Amino acid sequence: MDSEPVLTGAPDLSSPGGLARTIRLRRHEFGPLARHVDLPEPGPLSPLPDLAAAGADEADPAREPAELLREFTGLSTAVVGTVLLPLAAPDRVVDARSALFDSAPTPCRLYASRRAEDTFVGLRPGPSGDYELMAPFAPQDLAWWVQLQVQFSNGQPIPLPKAMEELTAEQLAFLLVLVDAYKTAFFRSFAGRRPEPAPVTVSLADVLEAQQDALRVADRRWISHCVAELFAAQLHPGGRTGAALPEVTADVAERELRRYADAGDLEPAGTGDPEAYELGLTLATFAGTLFTWISLLSLHDIQVVGHEAGRPVAQEDVVLFVVTEPTVWALASQGLTHAGRDWSAVRFGLRALGVVEACNLAAEFLRPIPDLSLPEEVYRPKPAAADVTEQLSRPPAPPPGPPPTNVGPVFRPTHRVPSGGMSAWAAPDPSLAALTRIDGRVELQVLERAGDWAHILCSNGWSAWVDGRRIERIGP
C-alpha cells in the first residue's frame, strides 16, 4: 500500500497546524529539566518521580537545559514551564495506541491539566532507549492523527445483527473468538480442490479451539489476540493492570451459539456431532471484514473528577477503532469507570462508521468533561512513602472484602531468566522505568501474558513484567 508509512505506531503529534515540539530525553534528564522550568512538585498521577528515580545512576551526564529546550527557542522559561505543567500536575491521562496488521502496538501517553487550559504533553518511548516528550498540543491534534489513520477505509455503514449492537464483555469475547474460528475454517476450505461447493461452517469445538489458540499463541493476525493485547496494555495511573475480556468457556460458547442461531444469524449445517453452523449473510459480512484489517486504534481516557478519602477519583472510558477497507468498526465502552478488573457489568457499543463519523466520535471522546472544578487536593504531591497502587480510585469505591485465606499462589517454576539477566517492569509498558534487573538463570513462573510481555512470579513472592520473548522455558 503506497500510503502505509503514514500509519505510525504512535501519534505523530507534529501534525499540520499543530504546535507540538519534540524533546528527546534520557531518564536522568527529566529531573534537571523540571527544576529548570520550575515545575511544581509532582502530583499523584505524574510520571516524573518514577522517571527521575530510575535514571539516578545513569553514567552519562545530563545535558544543559538550553540544549534540551532547543525546540522552544524564543519562548521564555516561564512559558515553557506552563507548557510542560501537565507532566507534573496532571488530572487526565490518555493512552493512545495503534498497530498495523500483524504489528505490535506502540504506546503514547498523554497528560493534561486544567491548570494548563486542557492542552496535552505526550510521552512515548524513543528510538534508542530514550524518551520523546511532545508539547504542547490540543485534543484537535490527536483527532487529526485519528483522521490520518481512518482515511484508508471506505467507511461504509455496514449493518449489524441486532444481537451485536450492544455487547457484554463476555459476548464481545465470544464474538471475537467466533470471527477467528470462522477465519480459520474459511482458509482451511482452500486446502484442496472439491467437485461440489460446500459451506464454510464453525462448531463449538472450533470456537473453543480458537479461544485456546488465542491464549496460547501470540499471533497478531487474529483479531481476538489483537484486541486482548490492546486491552491488557491499558495502564491505570498508579500502575494497576489486568484489564481483560473474560475467557470463552464451553458454557459461554454454547449459550452464544444458541443466541445467534435463534436470531437467524447462524444456520445449522448438516447433522454432524458437534453441530456445525453456517454464518448468515450479515454476520459473515461482519466477520469477513475482520479477516485482514488495516490498523487498530485505541484511546483509553482517565479524567479525575474529584477527591475522596485522600485519593483522586476518576472517570474511565475506552474507544477502539478497527479500520478495515470496507468500514471503520468503532467499539466504545460504557460502565468501565466502576469495573476495575471485573468487566462483567461493562457494556460495549459496536457500530460501522464512515470516516467523518469516526473522526467526530474521536473528537467527542477527547473533549474534557465540561464545567468541572477540581479541589486543590488533586494536585498536591503524594507522600514519599505512599503506595502508588492506591493513588487512584474509581467511583464508587467498593467496600473492602474479607482478608485472604492464603498468602499467595504456590510457586511452580515454568521458565528461567537468560544467562545475561534481564530488566523487569511494574507494568507491561516500555515507557515506564524498569524496576530492576533480574539475575541470569533465576527460575520464574509465568502468571499471564500480554502480547510480548510476561507477568512473572519469583520464588520469594515478588512479581513483575518482563520481555516474554527472552525467557527460557523449563522442560518440554
CATH of the domain at 455: 2.30.30.40
Question: Taking the complete model, does pTM exceed 0.85, yes or no?
Answer: no
- Does a structural domain hold residue 355? no
pLDDT of 130? 81
The span from the CA of 421 to the CA of 417, in Å, is 6
Q: Tell me which residue has cell 498521577.
A: 45
Phi, psi of 271 (to 5 degrees): -125, 25
- Does a structural domain hold residue 457? yes
The span from the CA of 427 to the CA of 233, in Å, is 9
Q: Which of 340, 294, 302, 342 has its CA nearest to residue 318? A: 302
User: What is the band of 245 on the pLDDT scale with cuts at 50, 70, 90?
Assistant: confident
Q: Is the pLDDT of residue 430 over 80?
A: no
The answer for residues whose C-beta is within 8 angstroms of residue 325's C-beta and 6 or more apart is: 152, 153, 154, 289, 294
- Does a structural domain hold residue 215? no
Report the 10 Å Cβ neighbour count for 29: 26
- Does a structural domain hold residue 424? yes
The span from the CA of 34 to the CA of 123, in Å, is 14
Q: Is the pLDDT of residue 181 over 90?
A: yes
- Does a structural domain hold residue 174? no
In this structure, of 72-86, 154-168, 365-379, 441-455, the range with the lowest mean pLDDT score is 441-455
Q: Which three cell numbers stand for residue 413?
A: 517454576
- Does a structural domain hold residue 430? yes
- Does a structural domain hold residue 64? no
- Does a structural domain hold residue 445? yes
Q: Which residue has the higher pLDDT, 424 or 34?
A: 34
Q: Is the pLDDT of residue 406 over 80?
A: no
Please check whether residue 167 is in contact with residue 175, taking contact to mean a CB–CB distance below 8 angstroms. yes
In this structure, of 39-43, 304-308, 349-353, 436-440, the range with the lowest mean pLDDT score is 436-440
The answer for residues whose C-beta is within 8 angstroms of residue 116's C-beta and 6 or more apart is: 82, 83, 85, 86, 136
Q: How many domains does the chain have?
A: 1
**Domain of residue 436, residue span:** 415-473
User: What is the band of 445 on the pLDDT scale with cuts at 50, 70, 90?
Assistant: confident
Q: Is the pLDDT of residue 476 over 50?
A: yes
The answer for residues whose C-beta is within 8 angstroms of residue 152's C-beta and 6 or more apart is: 1, 3, 7, 294, 295, 323, 325
